[in-house]
Amino acid sequence: MSDASRDLIQAVFSALSSDPDLTAALGAAKIFDQIPERSALPYVVLGRVTTTDWSTATEDGDAVEFSLHIWSQAKGRAEVMHIQSGIEKVLKAESFSLQDHRLIQLRNQFSETRRDGATGNLHGLLRFRATVEPVS
C-alpha cells in the first residue's frame, strides 16, 4: 500500500469511526480492516484498495480507489441503505484531513445492495475514488 493510500484509508477510518450517526446505525464503531471473530452484524469492512499514479509533469499525485462492504442480517434493505447513506454523508463532507497528503477530490463511483447467496445476509458495497497529492 502506498503512503498516499495508507494516509487516506487512515483518515477515512477515523472519520467513519468517529461519526455518531454512523456509530448508532452500526450499534458501535464497527468499521474494520479485518473482521474480528464473532463480530455481530451489521458492520463495515474495507475491501480492495488500488492506487495508481496521478502525477502531472510538475506535481506528484495518486488516485486511490477503495471499497467499503456493509454486512447485515436485516430482512429488508433499509438498514444497509441507511448505513450506505451515512457513509456517503461522512465522506462527502470531506471534513477530514490527511496527515501527509492533501485530498483533491473524493467521490462515490458505485453503490450496490444485494443478498449474499451463501448466507442470506444483505451485502452493501460502496466504491470510492480519491485523488491526493503530497503536502510539500
Q: Looking at the domain 3-134, which fold is it?
A: STM4215-like (3.30.2000)
Q: Give the whole-angstrom CA distance, residue 96 versus residue 16.
A: 10
CA 7 to chain centre: 13
- The whole-number average pLDDT for the span 19-34 is 96
Calculate what percentage of the chain has a pLDDT beyond 70.
97
The reported pLDDT for the residue numbered 2 is: 73
The three cell numbers of residue 103 are 485530498
Residue 118 has pLDDT above 80, yes or no: yes
The pTM for the full model equals 0.93
Q: Is 52 helix (H, G, I), strand (E, B) or coil?
A: strand
Spatial distance between the Cα atoms of 113 and 70, rounded to a whole number of angstroms = 9
In 31-97, the DSSP E strands lie at 31-32, 43-53, 62-72
Higher pLDDT, 77 or 93: 77
CA dihedral for 69, 36, 76, 118, sign (positive or negative): positive
Pick from 129, 23, 130: nearest CA to 86: 23
**Residue 5 contacts residue 131 (beta carbons within 8 Å):** no
Type of residue at 97:
S
